Chains A and B, each alone.
Chain A
Amino acid sequence: MTKTYKEINQKIKSGDAVVVTAEEMIDIVEESGSKVAAEEVDVVTTGTFGPMCSSGAFLNFGHSDPPIKFDHLWLNEVHAYHGNAAVDCYLGVTRKLDKRPYEYGGGNVIEELVSGKEIRLRGISDTTDCYPLSEVDTYITIDDLNQAILCNPRNVYQKYDVAVNSTDRTLYTYMGKLLPNFGNAHYSGSGCLNPLANDPDFETIGIGTRIFLGGGVGYIIGHGTQHNPKNGMGTLFVKGNLKQMSPEYLRGVNYEKYGTSMFCGVGIPIPILNEGIAKKTAIKDEEITTEIVDYGIPRRDRPVLGKTNYKDLKKGFININGKEIKCSSMSSLYYARKIANELKEWIEEGKFLLNHPAESLPTDTEFHPMRQTSEIEFVKDLKREAVICYHDCDIKVVAEKIINQNINHIIITDRHNKLKGIVTSFDITKAVANNEKKLNDIITKKVITTTDNEPVDVATRRMKKHEISALPVIDDKNNVVGIISAEELM
């Protein structure tokens, strides 16, 4: 049996539509089968609530007197993008407050705008004959704006990687705080409640689909950037009137040592047009698999360490090589469910109708990496031969080498070229002054290292972070194969 959008909308209008959430649909299909479920259920609601970095709002302030054409403008001191007409702008959620980058940003401004708070608008201009004003400094609320349109080029990832950290230091990433040595794991997404997981072939979700967006009504206006449905990583481009949204579902967030973003609530209704769609909306958490990825390797293709699924993730533990690791989400399952339920109520109350998409979303696009025309430099391109001393040699020998070869770092190895430590010219000076005799007492044994295939920028960042000026280059067996120092990087 099949239904049409028109029939479903008739039922919604007369208050007869049967609406369930994607979680509830699982039980219905399990108990009665997809055939009966398709007959009984009219709409399945979904929801997700997580950090959605590719989000932001177009704002129009109206004209000042005399008029201004902004060249730069700031909202609560957060720089907004201005490459449009005189008093339009786009405020992106990841734009950081320059002075306090991990505390406040575009996402917070949008949350405050939607809360009705006053926002400081400051702008400057080079002035023209038609726009003579050079500066504006004023306070506005969302009611003062002509338009405030949430417009997010990439939302609602179908699923996401699970992040872990193999290194020996804490990492602060867009996947949250990751403890060293696989101390914890973070995932994102609402699993069986995720909108795209419930319509993986984009049979009902398309351009023009009316959705729950930020607590108000919004629309899908296309596929999102990086849309990659072939690999189960579809995304959506959405928009909606910010003026009718709620601060409960648009929350600015600030990640320590990473930056700022915004949680955005999205809920999508799936009309149960036929049995096939009914079956798909009964997808379970255990059927949605995802990969465990090592965020300790700062490369595009991070190593995949294993597979897991949302059922295990929601239980709070994943397994890597037999080791149990505590995991938790970065997105809120509690709010995802709340959104699915709220959308369900709207439909039950006849306030929200479904519409046939004007056009389907592509199902065959892929996500390509960046074309980089300037070559990335790797450590192996810039390293030089290391000056090496054995760990059992005399401090004097080391000191001589430093002076004769005019270098600042000596690498200490055992007789088989395995890294044992590093000594700087400063260590030697100090040792001589203190009359130290044993090399072993003055070498730094916990050495920060790099490898041949590490991009130079990554090595540089590590040096800066640890406030050191050289890194021994080692291979995977801890053999010393060179050194790279701040001088080569300049």
Chain B
Amino acid sequence: MAIINVSIPFRLIKQIEDYSRIVNEILKHNISFNILKFSTTSSGINLLLEVPEDKTKEITETLRSNDIQVDKKGRVILDEDKCIHCGSCISLCPTDALHFTNKDKVEFYGNKCIGCLICQDACPRGAISESK
């Protein structure tokens, strides 16, 4: 299971139905997920969701296309000295935060990373770690 941090701004939740509409948006993919944490901030609602690894991409894309933020804090870091540019992490990344450059080197866009950690245990060089 992957963990994603979802922020729904108040402007999208005018009434309670909006909230269920958003959750339905996720459920439409016919998946089950766990809400690990529910909190509110001055700007909106924060949900920490546990979702199946293989559905993370779909969910992230759906939420984002609905104007909902999926964590942008970037919770992994890539140690470039350890990386051998094999690519074992790339097909796993739901947001293309890890991708190949046109020279086939692996590059990491921290601001695209949602910290789902799907990539971390796939790296055979231990080059991906959770940033504190």
Contact = CB atoms under 8 A, between A and B. Distances in A.
B53 A251 contact: no
B88 A316 contact: no
Contacts of A254: 124-126
A316 B106 CA distance: 13
A176 B125 contact: no
A183 interface: yes
A243 interface: no
Contacts of A337: 104
B67 interface: no
Contacts of B100: 316, 328
B87 A184 contact: no
A289 to B, nearest CB: 20
B88 A335 contact: no
A103 B126 CA distance: 9
A263 B86 contact: yes
B92 A330 contact: no
Given A180-B52, A332-B84, A326 B103 contact: no
B121 interface: yes
B122 interface: yes
A183 B54 contact: yes
Interface in A399-426: none
Interface string B74-90: 00000000001111111
A179 B54 contact: yes
A331 interface: yes
Contact of B86 (A170, A179, A180, A329): A329
A82 B52 CA distance: 45
Contacts of B54: 170, 179-181, 183-184
Contact of A334 (B88, B104, B124, B126): B104
A111 B125 CA distance: 12
A284 interface: no
Given A254-B124, A327-B91, A328-B100, 13 more contacts: A50-B86, A170-B54, A176-B122, A177-B121, A179-B118, A183-B57, A184-B91, A253-B124, A261-B124, A326-B90, A332-B84, A334-B103, A334-B104
Interface string A250-283: 0101111100010100000000000000000000
Contact of B91 (A51, A181, A256, A326): A326
Residue in B100, B104, B121 whose Cβ sees the most chain A Cβ within 10 Å:
B104
Nearest 7 interchain pairs by C-beta? A183-B54, A253-B124, A328-B90, A184-B91, A177-B122, A328-B91, A328-B87
Interface in A172-224: 176-177, 179-181, 183-186
Contact of B125 (A50, A253, A327, A334): A253
Nearest to A190: B104
A330 B53 contact: no
Contacts of A179: 53-54, 92, 118
Interface string B85-125: 11111111000000010011110000000000010011011
A12 interface: no
Given A51-B124, A177-B121, A253-B125, A186 B91 contact: yes
A330 B88 contact: yes
A333 interface: yes
Interface in B33-87: 52-54, 57, 84-87
A186 B85 CA distance: 14
A183 B88 contact: no
B89 to A, nearest CB: 8
Nearest to A182: B54
A255 B124 contact: yes
